[in-house]
Amino acid sequence: MEIRGCPGLQALPEWVASLTSLRSLALSDCHNLPSLPGGFSCLRFLQHLSIRECPKLEQRCKKDAGEDWPKMKHIAHVYIGSQHFRASDDAGGSSSSL
């Protein structure tokens, strides 16, 4: 699923967390999107998450330091801006820049 070019979007709907079969989510150009929904960690099949040009959300999703990182640390491939993180990075790996 892709959501892009929504500068006025201020929240993802809570029902996004009910899309339990969702495998990929790309968020881009959503400048006012401040956070992920509360149930986001329930998306167990989500394998790819991309967040680009969403400055407020990028801050909250920073690896290990962002308030929303715990909601997404189970996702195999996370792209935030130019950074790529893998779930295995939590075991001592490192991130890479794209």
Is the residue at 82 inside a domain?
yes
DSSP 31: T
pLDDT value of residue 93: 42
N- to C-terminal Cα separation, the chain: 22
Tokens 């401040």 belong to 34
User: Across residues 36-52, what is the average pLDDT?
Assistant: 95
What domain range includes position 83?
2-88
pLDDT tens per residue, range 61-74: 999 899 999 999 99
- CATH number for the domain spanning 6: value is 3.80.10.10
Is the residue at 98 inside a domain?
no
Q: How many domains does the chain have?
A: 1
pLDDT tens per residue, range 2-29: 999 999 999 999 899 999 999 999 999 9
Global confidence as pTM = 0.85
95 pLDDT higher than 60: no
